[in-house]
Amino acid sequence: MAKERLVLIGNGMAGVRTLEELLKLDPERYEITVFGAEPYPNYNRIMLSPVLAGEKTVDEIILNDRQWYEDNGITLHTGDPVVAIDRRRRVVRAESGLEAPYDRLLLATGSLPFIIPLPGADLQGVLGFRDIADVEAMLQAARQYEKAVVIGGGLLGLEAANGLMKQGMDVTVVHLLDTLMEKQLDPPAAALLKRSLEERGLKFRMPAQTTEIRGDGRVQAVAFADGTELPADLVVMAVGIRPNIELAQRAGIYCERGVVVNDTLQTFDPRVYAVGECVQHRGKTYGLVAPLFEQAKVCANHLAGLGYARYAGSVTSTKLKVTGIDLFSAGEFNEGEGDETLVLQDPARGMYKKLVVRDDRIKGAVLYGDTMDGSWYFQLMRDGADISDFRHTILFGQHDVGDAGHGDEKTRVMALPDDAEICGCNGVCKGEIVDAIVTKGLFTLEEVRAHTKASSSCGSCTGLVEALLASTVGEGYDASPKKKPLCGCTEYTHDEVRKAIVDHQLKSIPEVMRFMEWKTPDGCSKCRPALNFYLVVAWPGEYADDYRSRFINERVHANIQKDGTYSVVPRIFGGETSPAQLRAIAEIAEKWEVPTVKVTGGQRIDLLGVKKEQLPGIWGDLARAGFVSGHAYGKAIRTVKTCVGSEWCRFGTQDSTTMGIEIEKMTWGSWMPHKVKMAVSGCPRNCAEATIKDLGVVAVDSGWEIHVGGNGGIKVRVTDFLVKVETMEEVLEYTAAFLQLYREEAHYLERTAPWVERVGLHYIKERIVDDADNRKRLAERFLESQKYAQIDPWKERAEGADRHEFEPIRLIQGVA
C-alpha cells in the first residue's frame, strides 16, 4: 500500500517540531514534503536576538540541517513559499509552480510582524524583526548607517534595540505607553529595566505616538504627534506580531485572528491541521515557544493516528533575552482587588521581586535582577500550591525554603569549567552535556538524560542540568514544569492514574492499561512497578500482586549486588537483638559460606554475596530461627532505629526501644511509594537521628514529638514537626495515618521529603492532626492492609513459592 502523503507548509519551529514528534511515534506512516519560504533549513527563531547582538552565528542556531531531512526521507523545498491550497484536489502549489498532493496537510505558517500603516512605512530601511533576512538587513544597515529607531517597547523591540546597539548604532526606542513591556512588567520593574538599558546607552522616547516616517526613497526621520521629529537611517517596527493566515484564508479555511483549531489542532477542514503562531485555539493565539511545543506533541499524536492527546491551552511565562538583564514574568502580575502583594526590593542592586498572592496561592510573578527562582514560582503558580507554610521566606527563593535540588545553581553552573563533573553517579562532565545539547539539538531534561545519562540516577544534579539547558538553548528550554506523564507509555499523570484506579474500580494492570489507553502493549519497566504498587494500595487483600511487574529486588526479596549476587538482611525489630539471635545468624552465615557480614546503618546485620539459588535455603534457616525478611531491598518499611532510652540511659525520658519495636511490629511488610526509614529517640539529644528520617519520634519529658519528611540521603532534609502526643497508642495511630496518607497520595518513587514539600506540611496537618476522624480512618485502612502484607515473603519462598525464579536450567547434554 502506498504511504499517505503529509505536506507541511512552513519550515519553522512549530511545524518541524511536529514532524519530529511524529517520527518518534510512527516514522513509516507518511511520505513527507516540507515547503519553507526562507532559504534555510529549520532554525531556532528565538535565538535571532543573540544573532543580531553578535553573540551567535546563523549556523549556530540551525536546529535541523539538510542532512536531517534526507536521513528521515523528507523532501524539503526551501525558498519556495506555497501560494495556493486546492482543497478539492488536495494539492498545494508553490511560487515556483511546483505542486504537491496531500492526504494530510499541516499549516505552520507562523506570524508576520505587525507593520503600522503609517505614511512612509514602505520606505527603504523600514523593517520588521522576524526572520534571518530581517536580521541580515539590520546587520547590513548597522555597518552603513548610524541612527536607528525601534518602534515598540515590548519584548521583541527591546531585543532588537539591544542588538542594534551592540552593533554600534545609536538607538532610540519609541513606545506608545510610559511602561516598557507592559504586557509582562508592572511599573516598578519596567522602571528598573529602563534605567538599566539607559545605563547601557539605549535612548527612550516615551510615551510617544509615531505619526509618520519621512524620507526620500530611504527613511530619514520619524515624526511624532507632538510635532517633533527624530532623525533615523533605520526603523525597526516591533509593535507586535499577527498570525499569518493569508494562505489559509484564501483556501477558505475558517480563520478569525488565527487559523481556528480544536483541541486536537485540527482546522475546520478535517484533513488540515495547524500548529504554532498562526493558530487560534480557544480564542487565544500564542507567540512563545513553549506552547508551540505542546501543540506539536498533540498534533503529532493525531497525525500518527493515535488520537488520544488533547491540547488544553498553555500558561506562559516570559524572559527577556538581553545578556546581563534578568527578567521574568508570569501570570497576573498586576494585583487586583483583594490580592496581596509580596515585594522584595533592593534598588542599589537593581533587584525587584513581586508575587501577587490570592488565598495563599501565587497568581503572578515579576522578577527583575534575580530570576533564579522564576521557574519555582511558576511551578507553584501552575500547581496552585498553598504557600502559607513558607510565605514568610518565599521571596528569598527556594534554597531558603527546603531543597528539591536547586539552590544557587544557575549562576554557579555558568562559571564551571567544561571538565567539571555535573553528574556524580554517571560521571558526566559539563562539556559533554553542553556538547550533546548543541550537537543533538536537545531541548528537554528527559532528552539530556537519555543521551548523556546525566541526572538519570539519583537526580540530585537535576537543577544543574536544567541550568545548563537553560543557558545553552536559551528560551527554547522551557523550565516550567508541564503536566508530567507517568512514563512514555501514557499521557496521564500519576495522580490521574491513581484516581482512575479507584473511581473506575480497575483491579489489574491490563485493566488499567486498557481503560487508560496505554500506548504500549504491556507497559515498560517504569510504569508497571508503579501500577502494581497503586493497585496493591487501592485493593488490599483483593489484588494479586503481579510479581513480573516488580523490580528484581522485590521479586526475589533480596538486594541485587553489582556482581549479580544478593544480600540478605533479616529483620531485627527496633535494632534490639539477643545472643541467641546473633548465634543463629553466625551459624547460618558459616553454613552458607557468606563472604561478607556487615552491620548496616539501620542497626541490622547484612549477609552479602549470597548466590541466587542459595536464597530459599538460607531463608528457610533464618525462618526456623525466628527471623522474618527485613525488606532491605524494597520500596517498603525498612527499619526503625532506636536508642536505648530510659531503660538504661541516664538522660532518657521515655522507653524509646519498646516504642521502636512496637512501631516496627505494626508497620513491617507494608509496601510504600519508596523506602521508608523511621527512628525513635529517647530524649531530645536524639541519638537515633530521628529528625532526618521519613518519620521520627523524639521523646520529651511530657510525651512524644512526631516529626515527618526528613531525609539523610542525597539531599539532607530535616524533618518538619507534625504533632506532640502523650501516649504510645497515639504515636502508633499517627504513624499509621501518616504512612497510609503517603501510600495513598504520593507518586511511586517519591520519598516523603519531596512529597511533604510538594503537598505542603499544612496539608498533611489538615488531614492528620486537625481532622481526628480522618486520622482514624487512615490508620484503620493501614491496619486493614497490613493483614495481607505481614506474611513473611522469605518463609513462603523457602517453602517453594516462585521456585522457578531461583532454579537455573542445567543442560544435560551437548555441553561440557
Contact between 248 and 139 (Cβ < 8 Å): no
814 binds another protein (CB under 8 A): yes
**Residues written for the chain:** 816
| Smaller CB separation from another protein, 496 or 802 | 802
Task: Give the bridge partners for 421, in sequence order.
Answer: 429
| Smaller CB separation from another protein, 354 or 550 | 550
Contact between 699 and 660 (Cβ < 8 Å): no
810 binds another protein (CB under 8 A): yes
Report which DSSP code applies to 717.
B
Contact between 710 and 692 (Cβ < 8 Å): yes
| Smaller CB separation from another protein, 373 or 554 | 554
809 binds another protein (CB under 8 A): yes
Query: Between the CA of residue 777 and those of 363, 402, 635, what are the distances in Å?
Result: 35, 30, 23
Q: Is 554 helix (H, G, I), strand (E, B) or coil?
A: helix
To another protein, the closest distance from the beta carbon of 594 in angstroms equals 20
Q: How many angstroms separate the CA atoms of 37 and 496, rounded?
A: 42
Residues whose CB is less than 8 angstroms from the CB of residue 34 and which lie 6 or more positions away in sequence, other chains included: 7, 8, 11, 15, 16, 19, 69, 74, 75, 76, 77
Residues whose CB is less than 8 angstroms from the CB of residue 134 and which lie 6 or more positions away in sequence, other chains included: 48, 113, 127, 128
117 binds another protein (CB under 8 A): no
Site string for another protein, 389-428 (x = CB under 8 A): ----------------------------------------
**Residue 225 amino acid letter:** A
| Smaller CB separation from another protein, 1 or 811 | 811
In degrees, rounded to 5, the angle at the alpha carbon of residue 665 between the alpha carbons of residues 664 and 666 is 90
To another protein, the closest distance from the beta carbon of 450 in angstroms equals 5
Residue 7: phi, psi to the nearest 5? -115, 130
Cell match 504491556: residue? 522
Report which DSSP code applies to 475.
G
Q: Which one of residues 521, 541, 579, 800 is an interface residue with another protein (CB under 8 A)?
A: 521
88 binds another protein (CB under 8 A): no
To another protein, the closest distance from the beta carbon of 804 in angstroms equals 6
Q: Which of residues 748-807 bind another protein (CB under 8 A)?
A: 804
Q: How far does CA 204 lie from the centroid of its chain?
A: 39
To another protein, the closest distance from the beta carbon of 808 in angstroms equals 4
520 binds another protein (CB under 8 A): yes
514 binds another protein (CB under 8 A): no
Cis peptide before 417 (omega within 30 of 0): no
How many residues of this chain interact with another protein, rule: CB under 8 A? Answer: 31
| Smaller CB separation from another protein, 526 or 758 | 526
Q: How many angstroms separate the CA atoms of 443 and 479, rounded?
A: 10
Ordered strands of the 99-101 beta sheet: 82-86, 91-94, 99-101
1 binds another protein (CB under 8 A): no
Give me the helix-helix angle, 656-667 and 728-745, nearest 10°: 40
To another protein, the closest distance from the beta carbon of 669 in angstroms equals 23
548 binds another protein (CB under 8 A): yes
Q: How far does CA 609 lie from the centroid of its chain?
A: 38
145 binds another protein (CB under 8 A): no
To another protein, the closest distance from the beta carbon of 292 in angstroms equals 25
446 binds another protein (CB under 8 A): no
| Smaller CB separation from another protein, 417 or 521 | 521
Q: Are strands 30-35 and 75-77 parallel, antiparallel or unpaired?
A: parallel
439 binds another protein (CB under 8 A): no
Q: Is 197 helix (H, G, I), strand (E, B) or coil?
A: helix
Contacts by 416-424, CB closer than 8 A, 24 or more apart: 422/454, 422/455, 422/461, 422/464, 422/465, 422/468, 423/452, 423/453, 423/454, 423/455, 423/456, 423/457, 423/461, 423/465, 424/460, 424/461
Among the listed ranges 59-67, 475-483, 514-522, 634-642, the one in contact with another protein (CB under 8 A) is 514-522
Report which DSSP code applies to 612.
G
544 binds another protein (CB under 8 A): no
Q: How many angstroms separate the CA atoms of 162 and 159, rounded?
A: 5
816 binds another protein (CB under 8 A): yes
Q: Which one of residues 523, 616, 669, 793 is an interface residue with another protein (CB under 8 A)?
A: 523
| Smaller CB separation from another protein, 390 or 566 | 566
Task: Give the bridge partners for 330, in sequence order.
Answer: 317, 365
Q: Which one of residues 528, 693, 707, 781 is an interface residue with another protein (CB under 8 A)?
A: 528
143 binds another protein (CB under 8 A): no
Q: Which of residues 550-609 bind another protein (CB under 8 A)?
A: 550-553, 555-556, 560, 562, 564
To another protein, the closest distance from the beta carbon of 73 in angstroms equals 18
| Smaller CB separation from another protein, 549 or 614 | 549
| Smaller CB separation from another protein, 95 or 511 | 511
Report which DSSP code applies to 636.
B
To another protein, the closest distance from the beta carbon of 680 in angstroms equals 34
To another protein, the closest distance from the beta carbon of 800 in angstroms equals 15
811 binds another protein (CB under 8 A): yes
Report which DSSP code applies to 770.
I
Cell match 500603516: residue? 117
To another protein, the closest distance from the beta carbon of 795 in angstroms equals 21
Q: Is 494 helix (H, G, I), strand (E, B) or coil?
A: helix
Contact between 609 and 594 (Cβ < 8 Å): yes
| Smaller CB separation from another protein, 564 or 579 | 564
Q: Which one of residues 67, 439, 525, 578 is an interface residue with another protein (CB under 8 A)?
A: 525
Site string for another protein, 450-489 (x = CB under 8 A): xx-----x--------------------------------
Among the listed ranges 66-74, 173-181, 519-527, 637-645, the one in contact with another protein (CB under 8 A) is 519-527
Q: Dump the DSSP string for 66-110.
A: HHHHHHTT-EEE-S--EEEEETTTTEEEETTS-EEE-SEEEE---
| Smaller CB separation from another protein, 77 or 550 | 550
To another protein, the closest distance from the beta carbon of 453 in angstroms equals 8
Q: How many angstroms separate the CA atoms of 608 and 567, rounded?
A: 4
Q: Which one of residues 223, 351, 524, 749 is an interface residue with another protein (CB under 8 A)?
A: 524
To another protein, the closest distance from the beta carbon of 147 in angstroms equals 51
To another protein, the closest distance from the beta carbon of 592 in angstroms equals 19
To another protein, the closest distance from the beta carbon of 743 in angstroms equals 22
813 binds another protein (CB under 8 A): yes
The binding site for another protein (CB under 8 A) comprises 450-451, 457, 520-525, 528-529, 548-553, 555-556, 560, 562, 564, 804, 808-811, 813-816
